[in-house]
Structure 1
Amino acid sequence: MKILLMCSGGMSTSLLVSKMEKYAQEAGYSDIYIKAEPVEDLPKNIDKYDVFLIGPQVKYKEKWVKEIVEAHGKKYDNIPPQIYGRIDGQKTLEIALNLTK
């Protein structure tokens, strides 16, 4: 599964990706690829990823994201501010995994 975290390009999202990758490895998920990109790059990334997570700092773009993601038959969710703020890789990965159920 390929997961894209959409942000405004900040350092904290890269830290969250690292924590998610670490948890995925520890939990035995070997087929997970995670990357963070600016939300504005969604149109060029839509075909490269399976699920999309919106960082709290770009939640205001959710309507636009929803239109693009759903038009391509894919799923997205928001990362709650408290999970993002704690840089909780496990909870964030669980959000992504739940989108594929």
Structure 2
Amino acid sequence: MARRLQLRDWDALVEELRRFGESGDVTADADSIRLNFGAGSVELERGGHVSTGMALHTFEYDGDASIVVDHDAGSLTIESGSVTYTFRRPGG
């Protein structure tokens, strides 16, 4: 089941992202969290910056957004009024 969170829900978002990233390497501090899967990475900052990296592309976004974490599908979707981007966890 997918869970939709806002950056302002920082503690709950970090908890969901730690679970999402358990197959990789997760590092977090008070203002950011980074998930590294070797072949891909995701970084979110409390202030509203999101960046992802995969072998053939990168994505960056600044601003307010909803973060949809779907553990079953292995996906993380960033949604705002102007953009929708889905990161798929390498290996599912």
Q: TM-score range by the shorter chain?
A: 0.3 to 0.5
Q: State which structure, 1 or 2, has the greater radius of gyration over its C-alpha atoms.
A: 1
Structure with the bigger percentage of strand: 2
TM-score normalised by structure 1 residue count: 0.34
Greater RCO (Cα-Cα under 8 Å, separation 6 or more): 1
